[in-house]
Amino acid sequence: MAHTLRRRALLGAASLPLLPALAHAQSDWPNRPVRIIVPFPPGQASDIITRLVADELSKRWPQRVVVENRAGGAGAPALEAGARAAPDGYTLTAGTSGTLGVNPSVLPRVPYDAERDFAAITNVAMVPLLVVAHPSLPANTMQELAAAARANPGGLDMASAGPATSQHMAAELLMLRANIRFNIVHYRGSGPAIADVIAGNVKLMTDSVASALPHIREGRVKAIALCSARRVPQLPDVPTIAETLVPGYQAAGWSGLVAPTGTPAEIIRRINADVVAILREPAISARILQMGAVPDPLTPEEFATFIRTEIATFREVARAANVRLEG
């Protein structure tokens, strides 16, 4: 027993000099470049918004912030790389509605735990979704659309940007909460889907504000209701589904920043404070709004709660609608 106690004492004493060194390593962070892994190719909304934030952080920090695109596999390989990185603040990941909110429930094998493997930093931007329709569709409100759907269950086609996309899951959530049924028609992306709505081949679609806004302004499609919890500056007169049909309903695309679990809390707080300050700058906010998104700065605790809520919501939707992806 005495030998064991002496050994523990020696181990404890040996570890003491490491504490000031560790504190110093955190206090002078970052002393080398920081990378942000983006699970999509260049040019997608999450990539553009992340690069905007990375450029601004590079101006504030003594080291550059570089974006590393790792596309493919529904974002799972990129998130796995982010989860397995050293928890030292030098590797961050752009976590999104798809990779953190939806993937855990629709992929048969997810090589990361969306709740346990990441420390939330902040959301960066919401990408609002809305229900749009061809101008020839008689319904102009969600109440009228719901009445038409109940009168003819499954008789109205609704275009989707693809299985398990935020647009698809928002539509499934709407059907689940409102107890209505559309016939979901999947396309390979938002572009082909909205093109068929404009042509009148499919009368309905859940799309992003960013994608649909030019067509709404030109009268090629009409806005029925927003899927987001609140109205958005780009379409201030368009009501939300929560206002008009299903209280509490909300669905949106989003992109935020996470770090590997175990990243020191003071580094998480430092990144959060700087990113939130950036998002509150009028010029940056205006640029994000021009992209069809909405700045959404949160505390680490708020973002962690939001992620858990998204996972629970879309787990319910995936089970109810039997949404699965191969992978």
Q: Which helix (H) or strand (E) holds 191?
A: helix 190-199
pTM of this prediction? 0.88
pLDDT tens for 289-325 read 999 999 999 999 999 999 999 999 999 999 999 999 8
Sequence-distant (6+) residues with CB within 8 A of 92 are: 34, 35, 36, 37, 82, 121, 257, 258, 259, 271
pLDDT at 25 over 70: no
Partners of 120 in the beta sheet? 258
Average pLDDT over residues 20-29: 61
The predicted model gives 169-189 an average pLDDT of 97
Confidence of residue 150 (pLDDT cuts 50, 70, 90): very high
Give the count of beta carbons closer than 10 Å to the beta carbon of residue 261.
13
- The per-residue pLDDT for 143 is 97
Helices within 71-141 (DSSP H only): 76-84, 103-106
Who contacts 315 (Cβ-Cβ below 8 Å, separation ≥6)? Answer: 104, 105
Q: How confident is the model at residue 7 (pLDDT cuts 50, 70, 90)?
A: very low
Sign of the torsion formed by the C-alpha atoms of 30, 79, 210 and 42: positive
> Which of left, alpha, beta for 24 (phi over 0: left; psi -120 to 50: alpha)?
alpha
d(Cα 174, Cα 249) in Å, to the nearest integer? Answer: 8
pLDDT digits (tens, 9 = 90+) for 116-128: 999 999 999 999 9
- Cβ count near 81 (within 10 Å): 17
Per-residue pLDDT, averaged over 157-164, amounts to: 96
Domains along the chain? 33-126+252-321 (3.40.190.150), 128-244 (3.40.190.10)
> Taking a C-beta distance cutoff of 8 angstroms, is the pair 74, 327 a contact?
yes
pLDDT of residue 326: 78
Do 273 and 259 contact (CB within 8 A), yes or no?
Answer: no
Residue 26 pLDDT grade (very low, low, confident, very high; cuts 50, 70, 90): low
| pLDDT tens by residue, 42-68 | 988 899 999 999 999 999 999 999 999
Q: Tell me the pLDDT tens digit for each residue of 256-280.
A: 999 999 999 999 999 999 999 999 9
Per-residue pLDDT, 27: 72
What's the average model confidence in pLDDT over 169-187?
97
Return the pLDDT at 327: 55
CB distance 38 to 67 below 8 Å: yes
